[in-house]
Structure 1
């Protein structure tokens, strides 16, 4: 198998159709096919062979799409590095992944320069041109021969190392195989609400290296156009819908909230939109109704994660309509039902399915679910049991199959679509000389879904300030992980085992909040 074959086939059917639009770049299918072939030739000339890993470190750009296709063609594994991570985190990802090549934009070359020592990276390509680290991407492609690259892959070959936070607070990689990615493509094109074919155009507003890029294989298979936003801006999004006559879009709730906050959001022509999918963080029923009023009857919601290679539960537009017109108002609190091949169960601690209406943990199995984490046998054994991935989300299922999340077993915070692990932030807070004890939880936030909240017990005789602790965290973590607020307490609640009771702390802030979907 080779996922790049589908781009080649689409190119033969409609060579002049636009495949990717990003800023001033408009790339046809013929150009995408040729450019990805040339990059695959460059990487193979550098000695990379099937299964080798290639990292990317860049903000959204059309070349990231060409890079993904090139890696599929060459049978290589992609290591997408979040462009917002700091030097230490980038270095960790490069070391853990064993990446042999790195493609980076000019804005992140300095980070790459500092992160590279001690890694296996031997080849660096600069998307914006040559540097002291290596050759420029445009020059390398121009000099490469144009020859089709089609490395035959097995379904269990690694396609993507999707890094996310783990139980110890460090980043870990869910190993997405070519079989997982093929299943992702199938579920994208089989669902009429997510299929983006000829004449359809989907806006990818977030980082295409992560959740926003999950639809790409389906778009390129079906012959649609991926409209990649270089960076998020609410007004630019509305202008892009109007200018490009976009038919589909994927946004995290934070993005929806910023659009709703624009005073002149109704001056744009949004009539081309047929589907706006949201997911990756909680969104209140009130905000969903406001979005329905602005965008029209086009909303749907997806629930999934890196371990499930995109969504495994889906709340359709018709589900939204039934909720908003009052036929079944409870549905606005649901994350939907399984739409494709993956099986979803609600299970107890032993893995046995609980009766409908009772609370248990969401467990998933199917061809889109990964087999485990890279070099993490203990964590894999903990999360993957008897063929099922245990998500850590607590939920109940209605008799008709709709799933409603009620809480989260894991202490993961999802803010603006990014996963933030409490332990990681707490570890930094405990390095501050004035902090005796600290707990970090996610709290409701109208714009971000959840915001990082620190509750701190200072050492006797000290008086750290909120601003001081926030800046201390910002200096040692990616800024998206820093607390947005700090509360001070004389003591923290502990459970009978002596551990901090985060659930009790979290409940103070979530009490009375009706929707806890991510």
Structure 2
């Protein structure tokens, strides 16, 4: 097994066809194949062998795509580091993963420099050229021989350590194997709504190191073109659709919200778009209708996570049409039906499947579901009992298979498609000397879906402003995790066990809502 073979095969079939577009870079399949071979040779020359870890820390760029293909060809494990993380979090990821090589861009050199001590990283490649940390990416490719690299991998070899927020307050890694990634490729190309073949062009609007990059190998398998946005900008997104004659796009609801807010959105030609997939967070029915009116009958929705290696539930364009035409309006509140090879069940606390219509937890099993978390045996046993992944999302299922999320079992907030655990933010709040107790909850937000809110009781005699406390958190967390607002109270509610009753606090902000997540 080697996923890089599909790039080589497509390069043979259509060498001059565009494979990757990003900013000013336009890369053909022949160039993607050659550049990934050269990088694979350079990585092997640095002493790496099958199974070793390679980390990336950079904003979207074509070289990240080349790196992913090179790692597949080499049988190496990719450690994508979210470019918005702070130094401490980056250092934790590098230490935890055991990465030996880091590829980074100029914008993150200072972060890398601070994060590297105490890690196993011995080699650094700079995407923007040589630095005091190591050799330039371009120079490494130029010095490497062009020879095909094709390391045979086993299905259970680690392909990606997908780090995400953890309920224990630290980042944890879902272990995505080569078998999981092959299952992802299959479900991408088997679904006619997500297959990107010759002549099709898909915009990847978010970080390609994470959810937005999940379709990449499916695109290259089928012979389409990946149009990677260097950064998110609503007007640039519309301009990219028009300029590239994009046929498909993957976005998160927050991105759609910013497009809908543009006063000049209708001056762009988006008629080439055949499919606009949104996911990673729920979207309100009103916003779905507005997006349908703006983009046309092209919407579909995916539900999944790092543990399921992308989407496992899918709400098709026809599902959207039936809802918007009034045939089945309830579908606008659904996240769809089981996709591809995934098995989806709604279960109670004992793991027994609940009858249709009753509320339980979404659990998933299949070849795309990871076996567990890296170096976290207890968390793995808790989250993957009997081979089923417990998502933490509470939902009900209709008799025809459609799933409707009602609430979250875990204390997780999804803001702008980023997963944020309350305990992470609370741990930082409690570091402030003026904070006596703090609870963090997600509250409704029309643009971000949910916003992080801190409810804080101060120590006697303390005087602290909302702005000061938010900035305190921002200096210690990735900025998307900082509270957007703070409410100061005399005391926080506690349950009979003496623990802060976060559910009671949260319920106050969601009173009257039919669905406790947006």
TM range (shorter): over 0.9
User: Aligned partners of 1:348 and 1:304: how far apart in 2?
Assistant: 20
Pairwise CA RMSD: 0.9
Aligned to 1:445: 445
SS of alignment partner, residue 135 of structure 2: coil
Asked whether 1:278 is paired with 2:278, we answer yes
Shift of 1:512: 2.6
SS of alignment partner, residue 304 of structure 1: strand
Give CA-to-partner distance per residue, 1:342-372, whole Å, 9 cap, x none.
1000001111100000110000000000000
User: Aligned partners of 2:97 and 2:336: how far apart in 1?
Assistant: 34
Asked whether 1:186 is paired with 2:186, we answer yes
Aligned to 2:21: 21
Aligned to 2:215: 215
1:434 and 1:463 in contact (8 A); partners too: yes
Asked whether 1:169 is paired with 2:169, we answer yes
Matches within 5 A, 1:321-336: 321-336=321-336
Shift of 1:146: 0.3
1:78 and 1:159 in contact (8 A); partners too: yes
User: Aligned partners of 1:191 and 1:333: how far apart in 2?
Assistant: 22
User: Aligned partners of 1:98 and 1:281: how far apart in 2?
Assistant: 31
SS of alignment partner, residue 70 of structure 1: helix
User: Aligned partners of 2:37 and 2:459: how far apart in 1?
Assistant: 60
Shift of 1:516: 4.9
Aligned to 1:461: 461
User: Aligned partners of 1:516 and 1:185: how far apart in 2?
Assistant: 33
User: Aligned partners of 2:500 and 2:477: how far apart in 1?
Assistant: 22
Instruction: List alignment gaps of at least 5 residues for structure 1.
Output: none
Shift of 1:459: 1.4
Aligned to 2:255: 255
Aligned to 1:200: 200
Matches within 5 A, 1:85-484: 85-484=85-484
Aligned to 1:75: 75
SS of alignment partner, residue 420 of structure 1: strand
User: Aligned partners of 1:213 and 1:498: how far apart in 2?
Assistant: 43
Shift of 1:499: 1.5
SS of alignment partner, residue 401 of structure 1: coil
Give CA-to-partner distance per residue, 1:37-65, whole Å, 9 cap, x none.
00000000111000000000000000000
User: Aligned partners of 1:126 and 1:432: how far apart in 2?
Assistant: 37
1:333 and 1:517 in contact (8 A); partners too: no
Give CA-to-partner distance per residue, 1:303-345, whole Å, 9 cap, x none.
0000000000001101111111111010000100012101000
User: Aligned partners of 2:360 and 2:224: how far apart in 1?
Assistant: 39
User: Aligned partners of 2:473 and 2:186: how far apart in 1?
Assistant: 42
Give CA-to-partner distance per residue, 1:422-464, whole Å, 9 cap, x none.
1111011111122111100111111111110001111122231
User: Aligned partners of 1:173 and 1:277: how far apart in 2?
Assistant: 26
1:281 and 1:450 in contact (8 A); partners too: no
User: Aligned partners of 1:441 and 1:169: how far apart in 2?
Assistant: 14
SS of alignment partner, residue 139 of structure 1: helix
User: Aligned partners of 2:504 and 2:296: how far apart in 1?
Assistant: 39
**Number of matched residues?**
518
SS of alignment partner, residue 129 of structure 2: coil
User: Aligned partners of 1:183 and 1:309: how far apart in 2?
Assistant: 8
